[in-house]
Amino acid sequence: MDPKNELKPATLAIHAGEGVRAPGQPVAPPVVQSATFLWGEPGEGELLYTRYGNNPNQIQVARKVAALERMEACAVLGSGMAATAMTLLALTESGDHIVASSRLYGATGTLLAKELPRRGVETTFVDPFEGDWEAALRPRTRVVFLELPTNPTLRIPDPRPVVELAHRRGIPIVCDATFASPVNFQASSVGVDVAIQSATKYLGGHSDLIAGVVSGPKAVIDRVVAMSHLYGPSLDPHAAWLLDRGIRTLDVRVERHNRNAMEVARWFDGRAGIDAVVYPGLPSHPDHETAKALFRGFGGMVGIVLAGGAEAADAFVGALELAFAAPSLGGVETLVSQPRHTSHRSMTPEARLAQGIPDGFVRISVGIENSADLTADFERALTRV
């Protein structure tokens, strides 16, 4: 493991994965925009081919993310869903079984419920707060899958009892921790075996690339990479370079996201026309104590529920002038979306409500703008509603 892993996240985000320092070497890594590399026989070393994930830009950013996650290795892929899919395909085969939290990003839930069964892999979904994880396990359970915090409801089920149970049974724990980023939460610190991030979000940080990363033991990552050779979701070298550049400011950006989101959440809390404010940093949040115990910061995501329901939510989002109405999250700009129109549109209103997503729910990815400017924009929109 890279000795730089002992450094703090802010330092790792800049220096981890860097090559040999020597006079004449560039401070910023160059883009190696090549699909293939000169090679004739095994004696000439590893066969380098960008689809294999071993382009220099891919290697550098993978080492950096592994260091940030305090994991042994990392694979960098073309999207967060590519990272999720390749991981689950690498860890299972026909006849196997997965136990997953019922509180998941919509596409992840669809992958588990509809796509993997076509390949002979079944999933049992467990409510992470009221369900019985142990009862859901089977002899051929190969993965336990969690999401922390949950999208979009920002719930934080305590992963430690589930990790202990899975490890007692020899089952790896996979956790999507995109909403936290490795700055706020290192999944390895609670025993998670494999951590997934949609690098499109906080790691990239500028809404200008699509990428995903999966970190864990080298033996697992080797299997993920081998699976990606077949399915082909490699990351373009230039996108890998952009991802590395984004990560260099990850720590300072997340610090500002954390601070702005707390200020925005407090501003919305108790305001007329708002039925609920969902933010782990507020003492009213049901998982506030868990968040304090596990996370360095409470994150840049805030949920609000407008009293007027779907009509009020549509009007509020449509009246915003500074914040953008757009899917995705984790960028420097503030983005708002309604899960009923985006990430959870495939669910019925009743199913969404059961997960804590009423039709008046608006998800806010708080950016790094001046927080007073943001709250002024929100106030104008609420007034128009």
Q: In this predicted model, what pLDDT tens digit does every residue of 161-188 receive, in sequence order? A: 999 999 999 999 999 999 999 999 999 9
Cis peptide before 149 (omega within 30 of 0): yes
Structure tokens belonging to residue 182: 């490795």
**Residue 76, Ramachandran bin (φ over 0: left; ψ between -120 and 50: alpha; else beta):** beta
CA dist., res. 374 & res. 336, Å (int): 12
Q: CB neighbours (10 Å) of residue 217?
A: 14
Q: Would the pLDDT of 4 be above 60?
A: no
Q: Would the pLDDT of 1 be above 50?
A: no
Bridge-based pairing of strands 212-216 and 194-197 is antiparallel
Between CA 380 and CA 368, with CA 279 as vertex, the angle to 5 degrees is 60
What average pLDDT does the structure give for the chain?
A: 95
Query: Which range is most confident: 137-141, 340-344, 356-360?
Result: 137-141
Q: Would the pLDDT of 237 be above 60?
A: yes
CA dist., res. 258 & res. 43, Å (int): 50
pLDDT for 53 equals 96
pLDDT for 351 equals 85
Q: Would the pLDDT of 3 be above 50?
A: no
CA dist., res. 187 & res. 185, Å (int): 6
Q: Is 285 helix (H, G, I), strand (E, B) or coil?
A: coil
Comparing 201-210, 220-229, 266-275, 337-346, the range with the smallest average pLDDT is 337-346
Q: Binning pLDDT at 50, 70 and 90, where does residue 346 land?
A: confident
Q: Binning pLDDT at 50, 70 and 90, where does residue 228 land?
A: very high
Asked if residue 239 lies in contact with residue 31, where contact means CB atoms within 8 angstroms, the answer is no
CA dist., res. 45 & res. 166, Å (int): 39
Q: Binning pLDDT at 50, 70 and 90, where does residue 131 land?
A: very high
Structure tokens belonging to residue 139: 């002899």
Task: Indicate yes or no: pTM above 0.75.
Answer: yes
Asked if residue 295 lies in contact with residue 183, where contact means CB atoms within 8 angstroms, the answer is no
CA dist., res. 280 & res. 219, Å (int): 35
Comparing 3-17, 219-233, 318-332, the range with the smallest average pLDDT is 3-17
Mean pLDDT of 130-156: 96
Bridge-based pairing of strands 97-101 and 141-147 is parallel
Percentage of the chain beyond pLDDT 90 is 91
Structure tokens belonging to residue 253: 């950006």
Residue 17 one-letter amino acid? G
DSSP conformational letter for 192: -
Mean pLDDT of 195-224: 98
CA dist., res. 373 & res. 180, Å (int): 24
CA dist., res. 135 & res. 112, Å (int): 19
Would the CA dihedral through 7, 9, 11, 12 be positive or negative? positive
Task: Give the N- to C-terminal CA distance of the chain in Å, as an integer.
Answer: 54
β partners of residue 25: none
Q: Would the pLDDT of 138 be above 60?
A: yes
Q: Binning pLDDT at 50, 70 and 90, where does residue 349 land?
A: confident
- Which contacts of 350-353 are long-range, i.e. CB under 8 A and separated by 24 or more positions? none
pLDDT for 106 equals 87
DSSP conformational letter for 93: -
Where are the strands (E) in the chain, listed by range?
Answer: 73-77, 97-101, 122-126, 141-147, 173-176, 194-197, 212-216, 274-278, 301-306, 324-325, 335-337, 361-365
Q: Is 118 helix (H, G, I), strand (E, B) or coil?
A: helix
Among the listed residues 9, 353, 361, 38, the one whose alpha carbon sits nearest the alpha carbon of residue 189: 9
